Amino acid sequence: MAILKNIQCNKCGFKLLWGTGVAPYVKKPAGPLRKLLGMGGKKVFLTDPPSGNVSKEFGYKGLSDLIEEGRMGHYAAYLCLACFKVCELDSDAEKKCTKCKSTNIKSVFDMVKKPCPKCKEGTIEEKQIGIT
């Protein structure tokens, strides 16, 4: 279960998020071929935020084991304060806008209750719109 949220400005309607805002994944260890090619483990997205044990694919390991092994990661929504693009960024990667390469970015969740960066008059509000 995940909570769907709508994060937007109450004045200009600038939309920062419509959805869960976070996409968790588990890294599968790299196979021989991927290692040969110098590639890391494959990322497998979890459709539902995991609870307890994740699937057979990961050897029925508990979530805490996967976290301990450093195999959990996630993509999260960030707002670029330079060009106002909302980007989905990997928790493993550098936090940089995918459009203008600015590093002046913030998690969309950190923008809630803050003044709107776009119109500078409204306030960013978060609303729950449902549960998946």
Residues of this chain that bind Zn ion (CB under 5 A): 9, 11-12, 14, 80, 82-83, 85, 97, 99-100, 102, 116, 118-119, 122
Query: Smallest distance, Å, CB 78 to Zn ion?
Result: 10
CA 112 to chain centre: 16
CB nearer Zn ion, residue 28 or residue 85: 85
Residue 31: C-alpha distances to residues 35, 57, 63, 65, 96 (Å):
6, 14, 21, 20, 29
CB nearer Zn ion, residue 50 or residue 117: 117
Q: From CA 89, how far away is CA 96, in angstroms rounded?
A: 8
Query: Smallest distance, Å, CB 97 to Zn ion?
Result: 3
